[in-house]
Structure 1
Amino acid sequence: MLGKLDRRSLIGKAAGLALAVGPGAAIPGTAFAAVRREPLARVIVDNDFAGDPDGLIALAHQVASRSSRCVLITSSTLDRRFAAMGGLDPDTTAAQGAKAARDLLARMGRSDLCPVLAGSESPGPESGPESGPKGGTQAAQAIVAEAMRDDPLPLFFACGGPLTNLAQALRIEPRIAARMTLVWLGGDGYPGGGDEYNLSADLAAARYVIERSGIALWQIPMPTYAQCQISIADFEVNVRDISATTQWLYERYAALPPFVKLGGAIGCGDSALVLLTAISAATSRSRTQTARRILDDARYGDEIPGRTIRVIEELDVRLLLSDFVAAMRAPA
């Protein structure tokens, strides 16, 4: 039988537990059945991984996603001027980008996830000097192989850089245009357009893909992807020390060349690709419009009769960033 002091102690401890847990809160140690999540799409991730580190942030997020299956990673080349300014060998930036992607996968314990291939070191839809005997680089050939493979899951080509690798793949096998959806971060805003890096770095490839292929296109122009930012303070306090992976991602920004001037925030526009292909496109605003030709100065020209595209105008950045942080915290 409990004495008075024992009963008071027991009641006090029970009350303390109730206050600590709170109404509706989970009791520590409670086991929950996991919400079932299955991949709803295959994704080919294509980016200039030797450039801005936000491509690697997006790749880490895409790899960590449980609702899409990353089936191929391809690296595109950098504009030679920017490569030289950053102290990189301008002849090997696609290869350097592929290495960075492999390094990231290794840190995430996912080295065996999928092939990681360097694309063309030369811009343009034509095959460069590194092409194989079948025409096109290994990356372009792998894009074709994945697109032509029978699989019940739809295929997205998520591109956060110039469209070089996709254009070369389309030249090898035009039929892949009907077997995938391109989600591309590129081009300036409508109606005028103008200079934007991912477009201007390979105008010829963009023209080939948009004007000649007929591939289904979701375009995320610069005013839209610029909405995706995370403050440096937020990254340092809430993201950097989550894991060795997030620390490595932070170090990519600490190692940026001197000509890159950061203010109070880091642009993470490439992560818009993850939002639309692996989380949800339902809460982002878009419109369907007639595609436009691309002029020599990167402005938009005449409409292309019969060619429609989806233009993303507003992104659900809260959903994107909260999912990124949670994905980085979740066990592999």
Structure 2
Amino acid sequence: MSLRIAERCRVVVDNDWAGDPDGLVALAHHLLSPANRVVAVTGSQNSPVFGSPAGTAAAGTALAQELIDLVGTHRPVVAAGCDVPIGGGDTSSAAADAIVAEARRDDPLPLFLVCAGPLTNVAQALRQAPDIAERLTLVWIGGALGADAQEYNRDTDPQAADEVLGRAELAVRQFPLETYRRCSYSVAELEHDIGGAGRVGAWLWQRFLELPLPDFVQLGEVWPLGDSPPVLVTALDDASSTWSGPPTRRVYTDVDVRLLFADLLARLRLHQRRTD
């Protein structure tokens, strides 16, 4: 028997699922959290620095669907985005359509659009339906506090980031580079803690083993699970984290890493126990 947890919000989770598996770790956490109802999962393209992005949105979305089926707690809409940045051609997609549809759906629960990749799908959805900016809160892993810092998610589609963040009516919860890098996990911990936490954990660890790393990437002993902090906003509690900025444009400067990852591991183990 478990305590009955009240739903707090609806969540659309958007990510470049074919890239760093930290996004899939975060998706598993959302799916295993009863306080947030995952209503849609949308996929974006990988950065061209890792090779041609052609086909990566669809390939990543297939991985997300595999994880959703394995977890089995939610049956969200799953939709792929485009493989080009917002200024690079036709960016209409099923992913953008899904974001618009959920934002326009009447529901008493607030909607959080969690994006831990380029903001291409978000920008396209806002182009199609500017009215939805006042019907959701964007929770973004991206950008940087340092003016000259390179940051993967923003730099994969900087025009999309400018368009989305330029909408003053859009509420934003941002975890910049300097903050999400605090969510570091050692590779040994990934294998032991996550890889050893039941079928879902083993599946996640296998994604790290199978990730085709480019030759220029020199793997060390640490792997940041930087896509995980939005769970503190949607399912857990951000009271023990810190932020700056006005209420509608909150920029997190520190996160409760203990709460975040202790909860993840507990949920993976409990899921295994309850499904045995």
How would you bin the TM-score normalised by the shorter chain?
A: over 0.9
User: How far did 1:125 drift?
Assistant: 6.2
Corresponding residue of 1:90: 53
When residues 258 and 170 of structure 1 are mapped into structure 2, their CA distance, relative to the original with a 3 A threshold, is closer
Corresponding residue of 1:328: 268
Q: How does 1:161-172 map to 2 (within 5 A)?
A: 161-172=117-128
Corresponding residue of 2:154: 199
Give me the whole-angstrom Cα distance separating, in 2, the residues matched to 1:195 and 1:266.
Answer: 18
User: How far did 1:277 drift?
Assistant: 1.4
Equivalent position to 1:234, from 185, 189, 194: 189
Q: Deviations over 1:180-205 (max 9, x none)?
A: 00010111124x25321111111110
Supply the AA of the counterpart residue of 1:121: D
SS in 1 for 2:100: helix
Q: Deviations over 1:18-57 (max 9, x none)?
A: xxxxxxxxxxxxxxx5322021000100000010000000
Q: Indicate whether 1:314 and 2:254 are aligned.
A: yes
Corresponding residue of 1:113: 75
User: How far did 1:174 drift?
Assistant: 0.4
Matched-pair contact (CA < 8 Å) for 1:125–1:164 = no
Q: Deviations over 1:68-120 (max 9, x none)?
A: 000000001112231x2xxxx5211111110110111122235x611111011
User: How far did 1:214 drift?
Assistant: 2.7
Give me the whole-angstrom Cα distance separating, in 1, the residues matched to 2:192 and 2:54.
Answer: 37
Equivalent position to 2:170, from 209, 215, 218: 215
Matched-pair contact (CA < 8 Å) for 1:170–1:213 = no
Supply the AA of the counterpart residue of 2:199: A
Matched-pair contact (CA < 8 Å) for 1:240–1:250 = yes
Q: TM-score, normalised by structure 2?
A: 0.92
SS in 1 for 2:99: helix
Q: Indicate whether 1:41 and 2:9 are aligned.
A: yes
Equivalent position to 1:101, from 58, 64, 83: 64
Q: Deviations over 1:283-311 (max 9, x none)?
A: 11001159xxxxxxxxxxxxxxxxx6211
SS in 2 for 1:194: coil
Across the aligned residues of Structure 1 and Structure 2, the Cα RMSD in angstroms comes to 1.9
User: How far did 1:213 drift?
Assistant: 5.3
Give me the whole-angstrom Cα distance separating, in 2, the residues matched to 1:143 and 1:233.
Answer: 37
Q: Indicate whether 1:174 and 2:130 are aligned.
A: yes
Q: TM-score, normalised by structure 1?
A: 0.77
SS in 2 for 1:329: helix
How many pairs does the alignment contain?
Answer: 270
Supply the AA of the counterpart residue of 2:70: R
5+ residue gaps in structure 2? Answer: none
Which gives a bigger RCO, structure 1 or 2 (Cα 8 Å, sep 6+)? 2
Q: Which runs of 4+ in 1 moved over 3 A?
A: none
